[in-house]
């Protein structure tokens, strides 16, 4: 009886070991078999992008895919943060690159230690009334999302400075601008400051509404305003957002 139990135990151990190695050595290319098949465009359907080209293993690999008509290089590595599963992810497309940790924690998505860099001209659709050059660097220490609700956020933005062209054809040199992204009393807040630490603009997310206010210091920095109280609010706006601030 003892020999039979030992034989059964060894058999179970062998099967479990085999399954473990089969899973661990599974190539990343198996993901492409689940990719949607490209179809001809129709009036009510989007064209599926071509399957990505992937190399390595499912838990540690790299590849290339198409995203909005651009070639995107991607690499990943399985990385647990404590009991939270996640991956170290890196993305690069031309002058745009980003890398950091992405994980899932009991219904929430967590991003930690993300760094991204991109040319400011890629943001032109957000500011149709002006054009600018230079580079934007983003450091996102933490971001936690539950559904579409922001539970935590902390990070920094840094604009390298450059030339801004206004609708009237005027051009002006803009120095470096710094931004701090924080969570204050469950409200995400972004504050932009100039070289002398003077507040230029501030944005807060309350519920699903983004509240933006611009101080006179910003048009003064762009040589668009005469001398005055730099802390005076000269512009306010409210815009609906697809995400919301933490509700409780």
pLDDT in tens, 114-160: 999 999 888 877 777 778 889 999 999 999 999 899 999 999 999 99
- Sorting pLDDT into bands at 50, 70 and 90, what band is 20? low
pLDDT in tens, 64-77: 988 767 889 999 99
Helix or strand holding residue 182 (H, E): strand 177-184
Q: Which residue has the tokens 């660097």?
A: 137
> Other CB atoms closer than 10 Å to residue 90's CB: what's the count?
16
Q: Are 211 and 203 in contact (CB under 8 A)?
A: yes
């Amino acid at each position: 009886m003892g020999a039979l139990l030992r034989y059964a135990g060894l058999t179970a151990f062998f099967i479990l070991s085999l399954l473990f190695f089969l899973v661990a050595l599974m190539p990343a290319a198996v993901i492409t078999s689940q990719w949607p098949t490209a179809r001809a465009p129709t009036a009510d359907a989007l064209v599926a992008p071509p399957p990505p080209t992937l190399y390595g293993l499912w838990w540690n690999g790299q590849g290339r895919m198409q995203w909005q008509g651009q070639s995107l290089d991607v690499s990943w590595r399985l990385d647990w943060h404590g009991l939270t599963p996640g991956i170290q992810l890196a993305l690069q497309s031309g002058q745009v690159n980003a890398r950091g940790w992405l994980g899932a924690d009991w219904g929430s998505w967590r991003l930690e230690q993300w760094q991204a860099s991109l040319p400011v001209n890629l943001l032109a659709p957000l500011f149709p009334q002006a054009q600018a050059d230079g580079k934007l660097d983003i450091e996102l220490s933490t971001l936690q999302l539950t559904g579409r609700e922001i539970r935590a956020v902390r990070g920094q933005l840094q604009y390298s400075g450059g030339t801004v062209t206004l609708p009237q054809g005027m051009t002006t040199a803009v120095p470096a601008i710094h931004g701090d992204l924080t969570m204050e009393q469950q409200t995400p807040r972004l504050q932009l400051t100039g070289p002398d630490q003077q507040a230029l603009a501030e944005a807060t997310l309350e519920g699903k509404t983004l509240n933006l206010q611009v101080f006179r210091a910003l048009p003064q920095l762009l040589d668009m305003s005469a001398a005055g109280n730099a802390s005076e609010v000269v512009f306010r706006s409210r815009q609906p957002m697809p995400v919301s601030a933490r509700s409780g």
